[in-house]
Structures are given as structure tokens and as C-alpha cells.
């Protein structure tokens, strides 16, 4: 944790300090959820999971398993009638009368060893009555399809979600703006396309892990790899009909989340089985195979695009339909549908919009909040259609995007006014860095080379009132412990918060520690670590907490020195008077206060700074038109381009150079921001090259690394360039907004557009496997 | 539905002190005891519930398993327990059998190659086995110890089907032997996976060529194809074309097409039959051309 | 199921452990020796998060039986630093930003250390190839590769 202090009053905000958790991680001493030591008291759990995509449960017989030596507790759905759901409450903790996807949990066993638990699972007999599954969202909305949730009409949901009882439609977001039919009449070019984006998986390298303990006095403790300790506490408490105060979630470092560890998925399974083990903690770890098929996935999308522009390249009308293959439970996924609806045009100014974004129940794995939250999926088609429109009217796709991209003050798809954004600058920077317009020579006779670009936008997708809070407290030596409820997933949140506290307080970065693990009993509330919201939202809370502490200190010293507080400052951990040049180190006062003159009493005492932030300006959107004053808090925008080659012998793709530019408002830690751009690019590239959950009859055919391939060190481009653009966010700390998700949003269409530039054909839906590219070239006569 | 377990199932780990003890134990427990080397194939299958074994017999420390012997008259012997990394970096192998070193280096990852072995790769008998092609084209012969003692098994007759070989219970492969290669030979293993490196092959092409005055072309090419048939596949017709007339771009093209026509791969999760056939054609063409260029210097 | 008493050296320290036949080296390190730095990512030899040094070579410890390790010399991430002095590969990984969530990091450090031990001046291609068995989902690998280059450079001096 090397680093420097600076006389620059805003430092270390804006400096690329070394991460404060780096040393713990490189020495292997960082604690993750599977590393907690419990000793012999710990039990191990395994779940019984449905082998069918859709079936009624006729009977569950646990008697043989109960009799096994070493088995300490078994729970089934009949033991728990509460339901879980972040937005739409549609999921029992354990299936009660039916199963809805392959992997749906029916029972959980706790035993002395994981081997005994595994044996016990085999001995639990479940009788199913198999029903015809829904395996396609467009089929699922047709009359006569199996209704996956017959009780949809009874589920609780917030007022911005619109389930259609009696159907498989869990939510529908409509945009009706202007007049698309009239608009298309004015178009010189119209493209109509259909894209199917397959289900993919988050693939954090750390699997899900939860340890749950249910004490005899009713207190529940959950140690878990979690992005959402408070949301998990809330949802589990509600489902168990207990007070949130009696559930304590303890969340250490997370070995990768990407959304998989947000909301509640497997955590509740550990909790419920621990109800039977008389206070002994129970650990549940998902195997990698379960990670692939039984954890939150990214839902599939069937998207129909119809987009048109006039002869000058102005986008006139967009008429899109997004059918989300949202899986067996849509408690989280309903909001993906909504977010994709209110951002459905992509980052463009379009006067006429008709969009239906429909969340459809299917008997597929459960769609959850994967990085991008609907944006990568819809941009696959959006950005290819934009390129196609540009080609049709003979316009450079770069010019087309410059012309139509959202700018400050534009009215966007929901009627909201766009705030200042650096999107145009991102496009220009990327075009320059990739040498747009220059046709590069292929590196060999069997290669074709091309460049492609894509732009994006994304707003944090949240309820309208997600809160952050923070506390700053001091130690005797002036160092600070910052209590927050947001999680370090690798994205660098702890470091950035420490930088903000150091800057706002006026103390060295090395003096700041972040209190980890997050513990909902001691840590201040944070909605969730999702949506790329922490730098902005929790950053605001942390900054306010630091400023609150600073004010207490300044006020105290101004009283002690009888000076105007405006003449005082804290620099490098020392209170200074600009007037008298007197100094007072923080360590002398932040716990002990200041003695009055001649020690005739004392002033002050332990300083604790508090801060809280919640956006107050998000409005609702009309149910039928999707219009409203302020749909979202803000948008992060950006652009990516790739220079790649297609191998004519094999169809393989090789990216020679990749360029990203994103408007992050203010880069609190520039190298870490670039790290997000690089990592997101590679994750996006991986989904573009390799990734798909191959679902056949609802069963995932490739639930392991053997056949679910992700990018390795040998697949990445030779050169990558990451450019930071900063157009301040008006209510962001130092102007900052998020970047964590955005860097994987434009990647797949940028690759698709580059392929098109290289070989002049579209190769179909992602992933663009070598086989897909090669056979497309063969069918088009490019190779024989 | 996938049934992978979090941990390896229960079994006993046995360390026999002699080959005969090992062979006799294995022959006496034909359905639930198995010899293992690096374990990189069988542990995965055991976790998946596909290989229920009561006893895993560690034969790695036994006689001859760990040596590499090269004799310029007799050839090369590699003990069955020698990890692939050791094979790939051995100076005599790199110098005299470079195709074997190169093929070994395409397997999985460096970590797995610290444990995986060539003989294990061969006995696993997956049609995708990366070192099988090289071993075949260089006329590898296995030394096998069974209840009846030692014998030799030529690779050309070794494979019966996916995962099936001529070995019977009690058999332990102790070494693989390669004769001295023809002078001025050259070879290449070209592997097409999904990732740039490390994947299982969608198609694997092994080409080994050398001057041969007994053929019309003056050269003999030995080919082996991975992942296109139930066993490692030798495209005989393609070999005949390359032997039968002067080598040229046209004859190589013709041989490649014959190779393509001779394989009947399946559609599976890694690739379709159509793509595999086309890749056989393209990669045979490319690899034979590359080896040919090396041969004519 | 049989138990085996093994005696081995782990991070320079002699250890004696009784292990069941089916216990992997990974589980032994984590559960019997409390060395939780080495991670379980897939239990199938694919992700590399469990990489440790065994007799000088990196192995996937989830694919090695503890019972096979009698007499072995094992080095885990906890053994890279000496007396709190970090190995150059650790220092550089911190400096370049090659650590994000940190879960792949222990395995990567071992693989990288082994690479530099056998090839003190690796090319970019050699580094990429050596790391192919260590999956990272966070960083995109660029800064990891950079860290290896910088460590090689630092050690050359």
C-alpha cells in the first residue's frame, strides 16, 4: 500500500494510488467466505435439485436420508411458505408444489461432511409429474403455453412493474413516443433485423459460498460471498417472517460478482437448513457445475429491430420488440426488462419510438443481474442496425453516430432531458485512436481485416430510492476507519472510498481503512453493490461523512482558538490556521477533545462523521407510453472500436487492437478506471467469441469449463487502449459516475461491425465462433 | 442433468511395490480398481460420477516408469509416468523427436502438463488426445506389463473405440518406445480449438513426413487426425496420394480433399460434422504444405 | 477408506498430516493446514485458482491426491514472501493493477513465479502461454502480463 501524500488539496482523488487491498490479496491473506475457520462445529450442506425443467412435485420422501448417521438436518419446501423477490416476489425458498427449471432446489441436507450430505441427497426420493416446459419466450406468450406461474396474480410487486396475471408475462415496458408509422414513411433507409442473444453465465472465479447459523434465540447469522448484504438480510427476513434486525449478514471480500452474488439466490438455502441444526453453522458451496446451471444467469433475448433514418442520416423511427427469456423466476429480471425498455433506443436521439420490452417466464435457468443489466443484450442488435443503416445511405458509421448520438439537452426515449455527456468526445477519441477511416493491410494472405465501432449508454437500474450511508470514525492516532455497506468485488470500491475520505478530510490516504467484512449489524445501510452505483452513490455518502467529521473538527478547533472556521483547514492530518499558522495534529483531538484554557475543563470528544445519500428526483414513467420527467439518475456513455482479422482458413477472429473511451465524470483512480475498461472489454470479447449456455430441452449441455469457454491470456488483443473522458456528473462526488458495467456493453457489436467491415457479411447471432464465421463465409461464397 | 460432486468419491489409494503386485491386484479387481498416472482425466470423471472406483492404484514409482532413455541405435523410451512437461523440454526429445515435444506442448496448460503423461493420454484413448497422433505417426510401441509379464503393443492396433483399448485388466503401460526416425524427417501437430491455446481439439492434424526412395513421390507422409472419428484416425487414401505422385500444391490439395472425404465426424458441442470436415481439409493442406517445405529445405 | 500419514514440506516447514485417500492436495492445504490462500475455483483442473508449486513445478492442487505428496516440497502463495519481504512478482502485481478481486491471484503468482524460475526473460508470447491455465474474469490479463514482465526486469537487475 505504497503511496504518497500530496499537497494538492483534492488529492488523492484523481491519483492512481495502489489498491488498499492489494497486499492482502497478493499474500493470500485476504479472507473470502470459504476461508472463515469454524472448526468441528461446522456442518456441510448439499441441495436436492430438480432434474426437470417443469414438473409438479407429487411427493418428497426424506426418511431414508434422515436415518443416515451424520445427517443433522433436512428441510423441504413444506417447511417454509415465505417468498423471496427483489422486485416481484415470485420465488419460494424451496419448491413447494412444483419445480420450474433444471436445478430448482427441492430440499437441502446438512451433515457432518460434504460427502455424507452428498450421499443423503442421493437417498431423498422425489416424485415428479412432468409438464411440458416453455423453452422460448415468443412461444411462452402464445395462448396454450404452459403457465409457469399460475399464481402470478397474487404476487407482490412495486408500482413500476406490470405483471400480466394468467400469462407468462412477468413485466412489460412500453414506449409510445411520437408516431413511428408516419416516421418510417419519411425514411430513406429502414433495417429490419432479428437477433437472438443466448443465455450466458457470470463465471466469477470464486463460486457462491454461504455459511448460515440459526441460534436457539432466533438470531440468524449468514457469512456469505455477497454483493448485497442488506438486500439479502431484507429479503430473507421477509421470507422467514422475522425482523431484519434478527438477521445478520457478514460479507467479506468477494472473488468476483458481476451480478451473480446480488439479490438472493443460494444464500437462503443455507439459512433454512440451519434452522434444523441447533445452532451449528452450515456451509453451502456451489460446485462449478452448479455455478453454470443453477445460479443466476444472464437471460436470453429474442429481439426484433426496425429502425429507419432519412437520407441525411437522421434517425427518425425505432420500432423494436425485446422478448426476454427470463427463466423460471423473474423476481430480479423484471427490472432488466424495464431498464431495457427505458433505454431501448441506445444512446441516440430518436423522435419516434415504439418499443415493447417483455419479460417472459420460461423453464430455463433464472435470469439475474449480470453486468450490463440488459444493455449488452440490446446493444448487440442496436449497434449492428445503426451500422447497417449508415451503409445503406452511404454514410460513414462514425459520422452517423456523431450525428445522432445523445448530447446535452436532448430529449431521450423516455422524454427525459439528457444531462451533459462526453459521448461525442468518446466517439472522437476512439476514432482517432483506432485510426478510423484508414484501411489496414491484412497480416497475411489468408486474412481479412476490418474495423468496427459501437457506442453505448447505461443508467444504474434501481428502484427510485436506493440509499447509501457511511460513517467515518477515528482512532487515537488520527487514522480513520470508514464503515460502509457496499462491497469490494474487485472493482476497487474500498480504495476509491478511502481516496475520497482522505481528500474530503485532508488526511493521508494511508491513514484510511475500510471496515471489512461488511456486517449488517454494524455497517451502515447500502442498497446493493450493483448498477455501477457505488462510486457515485456511496461516494456521496462517504464524502458527506468525511465532511461531517471535518466540520466537527474545524468547529471544535475554531472554538478552541477563537477563530473563524473559514480560516482553518485540515492538511495532511493536521489542523492549520491560515491566519495564525497555528497547527494541531488530529491525533491529539479526535478522541480526546481539546482541554480548555488552564485545563479548566474539556471540549469536544470522539469524532464520528455520518453521511447519507439517496437520489430524490427519479420520477415514475407512464405505464402505456414509458414517458416521464426523470427516468433515471444519470447515464454513463462510451464507445469502443476494434481492428481485427478474420482467418479465411478457420474462421477464427483475432483482435489486433481494441480501443475504449468512457465518460466517467471524474476518474477517482484513473488506472483502476482503465482496469475496468480492459477487464470489461475482455469479458465482452469473451461473450462475443465463445460464450453461450447451450440449453436443450431446458438442460444445460455445457455446465463446466470444458465446454463453456471463457477468454484466456492467449485470447486477448495484442494492444488495448483505454481513454478516460470526464464530463462531470452534477451530483457525483468530484463529478464521478460509474464504469464497472459499461465497458462490456458495446464490445460484441463492435466486433460484429468489424467482422462486417472485413468480410462484408453478417455472421448471425453471438457467439461468433470460428465455425459460425467460417460456415457463414462458405455459404456466402467468400471461401470454398 | 449434471451430477458432479463437490469432492472426489471415497476410494482407497494403493501404492504397490512391484509391477507384478500391481498387475495381479488390478486383474483381481477388474471393475473397481484402476491404475493412474497424473490423474488429470480420471479424477475429473470420478467427480462427475462416471468412474466409480474402490481402489486407485498409483503405479508411478514402479520400475522404468520415470526414465527417459535415448539410444541413437535403439531409439527413444519414455517411462509411462514421465510428465508431459519433462518430455517437452528434454533435449534429446527436442532434438530427435521434435514432433512429440511440440504435440505435448499443446495439451491443456503448464500446470496440467506437470502431471499429465503421454501414456496416460494414450490409455485414456480419447479421439481428441493431443499426443496420440504424434505417437502413432512415429510408430510408437507400448511396453505393457500384465499378469503374464511384459509384452509390446504397437499403437497402430491399440485403439478400439472412444475410451477403449486392447488393454485387459491387470495391464499397466510402463513405457512408450519410438524407433529411430528416418533421416531428415519433419513433422507438425496443428490443433484447432475454440480458444487460441489450451482447449480440447475441435480437429487435430498430425503430419509426419520423410524422404522415402520406395515411393513414387520420393516421400512418405504419415497422417493422424484427432476428434474426427471414434478413434485417432489415419486417412490412408490421403497418405497414398502423397506417396503416389510428385508432391505439389495440387497433390497436397487432392490429399486434403481425400482426407476430408474419408472422415465421418459427429456433430457435438465443440463443432459440427460439416465444419470438422472442412477443417480437416484446410488444416491437412496447411500442415502438409508446412512440413513439405521443411522437408525440401 | 484408508488414511495415509504423509510427511512433506510446505513453504519450507516440515508437516505431518493424516489424510484420507480421496483428499486432494488442495483440500489438505486448506482444511488440514489452514493455508487458505490457495483457492477452489472448479475442482476440475480448468481454472488454475488452486495452483501451487509441487517439487518446483506448478500443479493444479485440486487434481493431486494429498496421499501422493509424501516427501514432496510444496510452495503456496503464503510461501512466496520471505520474512514479510514480498517476492518481486507480488510487488509488481500490486503495482501494475494486476489484482482486482484477487481470487485468481494466488494461482497466478505461483504460475508466474515458476515461469520466471525456468525462464528469467520470457517474451510476451511466452508469458501469455504460461498463464493460459489461470483464468481471470476481472482484469483482462493485461496488467497481470505486465506484472510478470516487470518482475522479470526487476530480477534481472
**In the prediction, which pLDDT does A614 show?**
98
Q: What is the mean pLDDT of residues A212-220?
A: 98
CA distance A194 to A190: 14
Average pLDDT, stretch A213-232? 98
- C-alpha cell, A467: 440509499
| Residue pLDDT, tens place only, B57-103 | 999 999 899 999 999 999 999 999 999 999 999 999 999 999 999 99
Cβ of A204 within 8 Å of Cβ of C101? The answer is: yes
Q: Residue A263 is inside which H or E element, if any?
A: none
Q: A26 and C42: CB-CB below 8 Å?
A: no
Q: Where are the domains of chain C?
A: 3-79, 88-156
Is the per-residue pLDDT at B129 higher than 60?
Answer: yes
Averaged pLDDT for residues A687-691: 98
Contacts of B124 (CB under 8 A, 6+ apart): B41, B42, B163
pLDDT at A10: 62
Beta sheet of A574-577, edge-to-edge order: A568-571, A574-577, A583-585
**Interface probe, candidates A19, A28, A674, chain C, greatest C C-beta count within 10 A:** A28
CB of A333 closer than 8 Å to CB of A368: yes
pLDDT at B23 over 50: yes
Q: Are the Cβ atoms of A490 and C44 closer than 8 angstroms? A: no
> Shortest CB distance from C132 goes to which of A21, A706, A714?
A714
Q: Do C133 and B112 touch (CB under 8 A)?
A: yes
The predicted-structure confidence for A506-556, as pLDDT tens digits, reads as follows: 999 999 999 999 999 999 999 999 999 999 999 999 999 999 999 999 999
Does the pLDDT value for residue A130 go beyond 50?
Answer: yes
Task: Judge if B9-180 and B186-296 fold alike in CATH terms.
Answer: no
Q: Give C34's contacts in chain A (Cβ within 8 Å).
A: 37
CA-based nearest residue to A251, from A289, A279, A211, A291 = A211
Q: Mean pLDDT, to the nearest integer, of A667-689? A: 98
Alpha carbon A532 to its chain centroid, in Å, reads 6
Which cell numbers hold the place of B188?
Answer: 507438425
Give the containing element (helix H, strand E) for A139.
helix A137-140
Query: Which residues of chain A from 37 to 76 reach within 8 Å of chain B, CB to CB?
Result: 46, 49, 51
What is the rounded distance in angstroms from the CA atom of residue A406 to the CA atom of residue B175?
68
**CATH level 2 (architecture), domain B186-296:** 2-Layer Sandwich (3.30)
Q: Mark the ranges of chain C whose per-residue pLDDT is less than 50.
A: none
CATH of segment(s) B9-180: 3.30.465.10
> Any bridge partners for residue A224, and if so which?
A210
Nearest chain C Cα to B61, which residue? Answer: C68
The percentage of chain A sitting over the pLDDT mark of 70, rounded to a whole number, equals 99
Query: Closest Cα to residue B167, out of B179, B177, B178, B155?
Result: B155
How close, in Å, is residue A571 to chain B by CA atoms?
Answer: 51
Residues A284 and A292: their CA atoms lie apart, in Å, by: 16
Beta strands at B186-192 and B141-146: parallel, antiparallel or unpaired: unpaired
Q: Residue B278: which of A714, A715, A774 has the nearest Cβ?
A: A774
Where are chain B's structural domains? 9-180, 186-296
User: CA B126 from chain center: how many Å?
Assistant: 9
HSE-up of residue A698 (Cα within 13 Å, Cβ side): 28
Closest CA to A324 of A307, A347, A341: A341
Q: What is the DSSP string of B243-297?
A: HHS---HHHHHHHHHHHHHH--PPPBTTB-HHHHHHHHHHHHHHHHHHHHHHHH-
Quick check: A6 pLDDT over 60? no
Mean per-residue pLDDT for A135-154? 96
* Cβ pair A714:B197 closer than 8 A: yes
Tell me which residue of A675, A728, A746, A697 sits closest to A489, measured CA to CA: A675
Fold of C88-156: DNA polymerase; domain 1 (1.10.150)
Predicted pLDDT at A5? 35
Of the candidates C41, C105, C129, which has its C-beta nearest A714's C-beta? C129
Q: Give residue-wise pLDDT tens across range C35-47.
A: 999 999 999 999 9
C3-79 — its CATH code?
3.10.20.30
CA distance C68 to chain B (A): 8
Per-residue pLDDT band for A742 (boundaries 50, 70, 90) equals very high
- What is the per-residue pLDDT across A332-387, written as a single tens digit (0 to 9) for each? 999 999 999 999 999 999 999 999 999 999 999 999 999 999 999 999 999 999 99
C-alpha A91/C-alpha A97 separation (Å) is 12
pLDDT tens digits, A373-407? 999 999 999 999 999 999 999 999 999 999 999 99
**All 3 cell numbers of residue A505?**
478530510
Reported pTM: 0.97
* C-beta atoms of C137 and A21 within 8 A: no
Q: Which SS3 state, helix, strand or coil, does residue B79 take?
A: strand
Q: Are the beta carbons of B112 and C60 separated by less than 8 Å?
A: yes
Asked whether residue A9 carries a pLDDT value surpassing 90, the answer given is no
What are A437-475's pLDDT values in tens digits? 999 999 999 999 999 999 999 999 999 999 999 999 999
A690 and chain B in contact, CB less than 8 A? yes
pLDDT at B1: 67
Quick: pLDDT tens for B201-259. Answer: 999 999 999 999 999 999 999 999 999 999 999 999 999 999 999 999 999 999 999 99
Amino acid at each position: 500500500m505504497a503511496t504518497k501524500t500530496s499537497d494538492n488539496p483534492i488529492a488523492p482523488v484523481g491519483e492512481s494510488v495502489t489498491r488498499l487491498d492489494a497486499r492482502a490479496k497478493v499474500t493470500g491473506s485476504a479472507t473470502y467466505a470459504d476461508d472463515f475457520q469454524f472448526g468441528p462445529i461446522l456442518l456441510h450442506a448439499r441441495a436436492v435439485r430438480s432434474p426437470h425443467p417443469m414438473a409438479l412435485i407429487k411427493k418428497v420422501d426424506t426418511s431414508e436420508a434422515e436415518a443416515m448417521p451424520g445427517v443433522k438436518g433436512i428441510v423441504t419446501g413444506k417447511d417454509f411458505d415465505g417468498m423471496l423477490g427483489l422486485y416481484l416476489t415470485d420465488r419460494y425458498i424451496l419448491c413447494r408444489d412444483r419445480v420450474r427449471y433444471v436445478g430448482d432446489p427441492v430440499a437441502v441436507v446438512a451433515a457432518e461432511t460434504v460427502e455424507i450430505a452428498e450421499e443423503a441427497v442421493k437417498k431423498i426420493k422425489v416424485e415428479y409429474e412432468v409438464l411440458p416446459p416453455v423453452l422460448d419466450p415468443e412461444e411462452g406468450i402464445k395462448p396454450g403455453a404452459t403457465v409457469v406461474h399460475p399464481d402470478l396474480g397474487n404476487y407482490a410487486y412495486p408500482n413500476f412493474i406490470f405483471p400480466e396475471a394468467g400469462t407468462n408475462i412477468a413485466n412489460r415496458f412500453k414506449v409510445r413516443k411520437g408516431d413511428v408509422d408516419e416516421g418510417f414513411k419519411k425514411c430513406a433507409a429502414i433495417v429490419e433485423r432479428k437477433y437472438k442473444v443466448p443465455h450466458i453465465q457470470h463465471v466469477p472465479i470464486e463460486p457462491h459460498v454461504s455459511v448460515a447459523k440459526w441460534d436457539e434465540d432466533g438470531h440468524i447469522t449468514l457469512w456469505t460471498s455477497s454483493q448485497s448484504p442488506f438486500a439479502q438480510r431484507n429479503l430473507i427476513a421477509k421470507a422467514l417472517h422475522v425482523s431484519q434486525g434478527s438477521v445478520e449478514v457478514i460479507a467479506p471480500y468477494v472473488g468476483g460478482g458481476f451480478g451473480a452474488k446480488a439479490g438472493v439466490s443460494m444464500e437462503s438455502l443455507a439459512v433454512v437448513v440451519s434452522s434444523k441444526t441447533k445452532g451449528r453453522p452450515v456451509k453451502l458451496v456451489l460446485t462449478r457445475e452448479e455455478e453454470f446451471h443453477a445460479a443466476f444467469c444472464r437471460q436470453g433475448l429474442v429481439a426484433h429491430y426496425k429502425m429507419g433514418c432519412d437520407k441525411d442520416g437522421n434517425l427518425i423511427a425505432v420500432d423494436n420488440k425485446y422478448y426476454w427469456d427470463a427463466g423460471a423466476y423473474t423476481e430480479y429480471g423484471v427490472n432488466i426488462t424495464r431498464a431495457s425498455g427505458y433505454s431501448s433506443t441506445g444512446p441516440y436521439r430518436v423522435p419516434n419510438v415504439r418499443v415493447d420490452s417483455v419479460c417472459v417466464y420460461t423453464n430455463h435457468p433464472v435470469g439475474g443481474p449480470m453486468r450490463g443489466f440488459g444493455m449488452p443484450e440490446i446493444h448487440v442488435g442496436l449497434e449492428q442496425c445503426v451500422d447497417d443503416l449508415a451503409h445503406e445511405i452511404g454514410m460513414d458509421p462514425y459520422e452517423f453516430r456523431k450525428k445522432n448520438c445523445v448530447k446535452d439537452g436532448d430529449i431521450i426515449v423516455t422524454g427525459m432531458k439528457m444531462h451533459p455527456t462526453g459521448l461525442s468526445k468518446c466517439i472522437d477519441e476512439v476514432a482517432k485512436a483506432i485510426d478510423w477511416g484508414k484501411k489496414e493491410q491484412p497480416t497475411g494472405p489468408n486474412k481479412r481485416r476490418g474495423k468496427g465501432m459501437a457506442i453505448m449508454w447505461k443508467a444504474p437500474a434501481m428502484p427510485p430510492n436506493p440509499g447509501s450511508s457511511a460513517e467515518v470514525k477515528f482512532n487515537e492516532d488520527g487514522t480513520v476507519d470508514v464503515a460502509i455497506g457496499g462491497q469490494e468485488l474487485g472493482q476497487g470500491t474500498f480504495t476509491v472510498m478511502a481516496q475520497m475520505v482522505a481528500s474530503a478530510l485532508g488526511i493521508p490516504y494511508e491513514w484510511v481503512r475500510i471496515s471489512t467484512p461488511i456486517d449488517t449489524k454494524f455497517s451502515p445501510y447500502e442498497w446493493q453493490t450493483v448498477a455501477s452505483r457505488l462510486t457515485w452513490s456511496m461516494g456521496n455518502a462517504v464524502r458527506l461523512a468525511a465532511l461531517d467529521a471535518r466540520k466537527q473538527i474545524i468547529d471544535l478547533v475554531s472554538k478552541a482558538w477563537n477563530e473563524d472556521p473559514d480560516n482553518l483547514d485540515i492538511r495532511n492530518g493536521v489542523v492549520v490556521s491560515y491566519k495564525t499558522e497555528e497547527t494541531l495534529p488530529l491525533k491529539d483531538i479526535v478522541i480526546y477533545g481539546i482541554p480548555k484554557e488552564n485545563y479548566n475543563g474539556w471540549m469536544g470528544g470522539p469524532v464520528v462523521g455520518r453521511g447519507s445519500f439517496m437520489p430524490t428526483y427519479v420520477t415514475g414513467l407512464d405505464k402505456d407510453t414509458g414517458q416521464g420527467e426523470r427516468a433515471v439518475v444519470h447515464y454513463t456513455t462510451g464507445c469502443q472500436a476494434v481492428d481485427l482479422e478474420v482467418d479465411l482458413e478457420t474462421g477464427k477472429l483475432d483482435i489486433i487492437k481494441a480501443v475504449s473511451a468512457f465518460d466517467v465524470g471524474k476518474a477517482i483512480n484513473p488506472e483502476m478506471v482503465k482496469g475496468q475498461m480492459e477487464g470489461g472489454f475482455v469479458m465482452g470479447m469473451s461473450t462475443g467469441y465463445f460464450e453461450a449456455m447451450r440449453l436443450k430441452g431446458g438442460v444445460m449441455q455445457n455446465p463446466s469449463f470444458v465446454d463453456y469457454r471463457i477468454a484466456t491470456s492467449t485470447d486477448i488483443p495484442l494492444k488495448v487502449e483505454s481513454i478516460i473522458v470526464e464530463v462531470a456528473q452534477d451530483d457525483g462526488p468530484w463529478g464521478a459516475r460509474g464504469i464497472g458495467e459499461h465497458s462490456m456493453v458495446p464490445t460484441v457489436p463492435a466486433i460484429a461491425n468489424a467482422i462486417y467491415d472485413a468480410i462484408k457479411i453478417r455472421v448471425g447471432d453471438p457467439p461468433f465462433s470460428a465455425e459460425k464465421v467460417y460456415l457463414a463465409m462458405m455459404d456466402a461464397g467468400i471461401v470454398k | 442433468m449434471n451430477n458432479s460432486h463437490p469432492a472426489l468419491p471415497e476410494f482407497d489409494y494403493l501404492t504397490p511395490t512391484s509391477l507384478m503386485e500391481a498387475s495381479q491386484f488390478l486383474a483381481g479387481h477388474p471393475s473397481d480398481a484402476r491404475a493412474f498416472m497424473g490423474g488429470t482425466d480420471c479424477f475429473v470423471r470420478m467427480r462427475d460420477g462416471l468412474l466409480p472406483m474402490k481402489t486407485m492404484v498409483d503405479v508411478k514409482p514402479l520400475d522404468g516408469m520415470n526414465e527417459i532413455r535415448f539410444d541413437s541405435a535403439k531409439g527413444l523410451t519414455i517411462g509411462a509416468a514421465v510428465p508431459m512437461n519433462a518430455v517437452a523440454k528434454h533435449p534429446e526429445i527436442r532434438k530427435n523427436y521434435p514432433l512429440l515435444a511440440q504435440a505435448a506442448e499443446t495439451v491443456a496448460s503448464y500446470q496440467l502438463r506437470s502431471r499429465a503423461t503421454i501414456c496416460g493420454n494414450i490409455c485414456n484413448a480419447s479421439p481428441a488426445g493431443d499426443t496420440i497422433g504424434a505417437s502413432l505417426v512415429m510408430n510408437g510401441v507400448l511396453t505393457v506389463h500384465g499378469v503374464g509379464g511384459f509384452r509390446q503393443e504397437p499403437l497402430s492396433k491399440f485403439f478400439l473405440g472412444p475410451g477403449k483399448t486392447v488393454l485387459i485388466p491387470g495391464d499397466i503401460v510402463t513405457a512408450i518406445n519410438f524407433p529411430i526416425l528416418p533421416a531428415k524427417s519433419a513433422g507438425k501437430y496443428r490443433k484447432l480449438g475454440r480458444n487460441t491455446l489450451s482447449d480440447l481439439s475441435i480437429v487435430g492434424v498430425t503430419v509426419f513426413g520423410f524422404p522415402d526412395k520406395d515411393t513414387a513421390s520420393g516421400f512418405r507422409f504419415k497422417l493422424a487426425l484427432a476428434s474426427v472419428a471414434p478413434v485417432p484416425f489415419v486417412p490412408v487414401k490421403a497418405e497414398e496420394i502423397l506417396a503416389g505422385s510428385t508432391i505439389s500444391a495440387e497433390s497436397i490439395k487432392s490429399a486434403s480433399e481425400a482426407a476430408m472425404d474419408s472422415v465421418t465426424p459427429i456433430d457435438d458441442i465443440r463443432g459440427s460434422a460439416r465444419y470438422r470436415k472442412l477443417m480437416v481439409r484446410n488444416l491437412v493442406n496447411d500442415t502438409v504444405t508446412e512440413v513439405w517445405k521443411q522437408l525440401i529445405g | 477408506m484408508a488414511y495415509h500419514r504423509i510427511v512433506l514440506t510446505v513453504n519450507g516447514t516440515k508437516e505431518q498430516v493424516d489424510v484420507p485417500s480421496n483428499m486432494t492436495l488442495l483440500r489438505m492445504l486448506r482444511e488440514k493446514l489452514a493455508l487458505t490462500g490457495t483457492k477452489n475455483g472448479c475442482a476440475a483442473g480448468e481454472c488454475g485458482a488452486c495452483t501451487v508449486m509441487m517439487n518446483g513445478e506448478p500443479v493444479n492442487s485440486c487434481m493431486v491426491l494429498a496421499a501422493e505428496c509424501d516427501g514432496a516440497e510444496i510452495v503456496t502463495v503464503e510461501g512466496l514472501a520471505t520474512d514479510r519481504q514480498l517476492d518481486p512478482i507480488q510487488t509488481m502485481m500490486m503495482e501494475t493493477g494486476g489484482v482486482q478481486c484477487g481470487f485468481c491471484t494466488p494461482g497466478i503468482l505461483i504460475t508466474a513465479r515458476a515461469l520466471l524460475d525456468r525462464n528469467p526473460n520470457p517474451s510476451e508470447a511466452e508469458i501469455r502461454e504460461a498463464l493460459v491455465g489461470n483464468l481471470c474474469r476481472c482484469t483482462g490479463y493485461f496488467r497481470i502480463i505486465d506484472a510478470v514482465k516487470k518482475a522479470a526486469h526487476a530480477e534481472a537487475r
